[in-house]
């Protein structure tokens, strides 16, 4: 992704209005932003490689578009890992002086969110550059996706834990404000460091060619980690059949080799 000027931001697919404005103000940062989205996609696919959902909505790097699972448990993770990947890549680019204006990090974070910021963490650029030195101080000193993927794995692990502990919420009007409150009264009010979701997830184990996920991707989860043998079997089907008179059917048989999966 190479943008020569701010006019190119209008042609970027999947950006919402606020993100287009950020792009116009910080055109030079968009190459780092793209690296961050690539980083997020790869890490998401690693974290969910054996789950029913395997980050299929991120195929094609449409990270910012309205996901087909918007508002669900999975979309909470998509938002968090995307924001983290961009923050990681932009900070790396700043530390190597690939970018001339590094004061925009807080602008990006206001637009995208910062899932990793905790108490005592500063938005100050010097803090973020110091943080990035731990992983850019390598022989090649590169901010390429392959270079920053290993340290980003720790971020992915943290966010995966937060995903497992995500809270289901619903909108509730309190006075003049509309708040998100836990759906179950057994849960305490969530904090800024908790992933939340509004909608139940769809059935990802049903094959859906339009969304590119396959039922077999979730076998490890569905088999409770016991493993699943895969065997090839011959399936006999009737084809080119037609009815003769009222009650007889004549046709041919076709044989098809298929993969059959089962839990141990």
Cβ atoms of residues 171 and 179 within 8 Å: yes
Confidence of residue 150 (pLDDT cuts 50, 70, 90): low
**Stretch (H or E) spanning 135:** helix 125-136
Cβ atoms of residues 55 and 69 within 8 Å: no
Lowest mean pLDDT among 53-62, 173-182, 193-202, 253-262: 53-62
Strands lying side by side in the sheet with 177-182: 177-182, 167-174, 196-197
How do residues 200-257 score in pLDDT, each as one tens digit?
A: 877 655 555 554 444 444 565 556 556 667 778 777 776 666 656 555 556 777 777 8
Average pLDDT value for residue range 17-30:
82
Confidence of residue 106 (pLDDT cuts 50, 70, 90): very low
Does residue 160 surpass a pLDDT of 90?
Answer: yes
How do residues 25-82 score in pLDDT, each as one tens digit?
A: 888 888 888 888 888 888 998 898 877 677 765 544 444 444 445 788 888 898 888 8
Lowest mean pLDDT among 99-103, 142-146, 181-185, 252-256: 142-146
Average pLDDT value for residue range 100-113:
50
Residue 21's pLDDT is what? 84
Residue 210's pLDDT is what? 52
- Comparing CA positions, the residue from 219, 223, 203, 222 lying closest to residue 211 is 203
Cβ atoms of residues 58 and 69 within 8 Å: no
Which one has a higher pLDDT value, 25 or 101? 25
Which one has a higher pLDDT value, 108 or 225? 225
pTM: 0.62
Average pLDDT value for residue range 108-136:
41
* d(C-alpha 68, C-alpha 109), whole Å: 24
**Structural domain boundaries of the chain?**
6-166, 223-261
Which residues, other chains included, contact 29 with Cβ-Cβ below 8 Å and sequence gap of 6+? Answer: 90, 93, 99, 104, 108
Average pLDDT value for residue range 107-113:
43
Average pLDDT value for residue range 95-108:
63
Does residue 189 surpass a pLDDT of 50?
Answer: yes
Mean pLDDT over all residues of the chain? 69
Which one has a higher pLDDT value, 146 or 194? 194
Q: Which residue has the tokens 């004061």?
A: 103
Residue 43's pLDDT is what? 92
Cβ atoms of residues 116 and 66 within 8 Å: no
């Amino acid at each position: 992704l190479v943008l020569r000027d701010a006019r190119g931001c209008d042609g970027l697919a999947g950006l919402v209005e606020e993100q287009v404005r950020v792009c116009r103000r910080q055109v030079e940062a968009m190459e780092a932003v793209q690296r961050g989205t690539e980083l997020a996609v790869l890490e998401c696919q690693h974290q969910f490689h054996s789950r029913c959902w395997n980050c299929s909505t991120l195929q094609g790097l449409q990270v910012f578009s309205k996901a087909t699972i918007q508002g669900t448990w999975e979309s909470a993770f998509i938002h968090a890992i995307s924001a983290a990947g961009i923050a990681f890549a932009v900070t790396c680019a700043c530390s190597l002086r690939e970018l001339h204006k590094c004061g925009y990090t807080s602008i990006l974070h206001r637009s995208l969110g910062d899932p990793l910021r905790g108490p005592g963490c500063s938005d100050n650029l010097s803090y973020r550059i110091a943080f990035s030195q731990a992983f850019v101080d390598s022989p090649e000193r590169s901010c390429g996706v392959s270079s920053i993927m290993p340290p980003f794995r720790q971020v992915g692990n943290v966010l995966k834990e937060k995903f497992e502990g995500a809270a289901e919420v619903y909108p509730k009007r309190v006075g003049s404000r509309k708040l998100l409150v836990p759906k179950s009264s057994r849960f305490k009010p969530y904090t800024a460091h908790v992933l939340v979701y509004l909608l139940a997830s769809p059935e990802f184990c049903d094959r859906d060619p339009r969304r590119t996920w396959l039922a077999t991707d979730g076998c490890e989860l569905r088999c409770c980690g016991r493993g699943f043998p895969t065997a090839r079997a011959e399936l006999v089907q009737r084809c080119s059949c037609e009815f003769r008179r009222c009650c007889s059917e004549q046709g041919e048989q076709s044989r098809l080799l298929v993969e059959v999966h089962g839990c141990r």
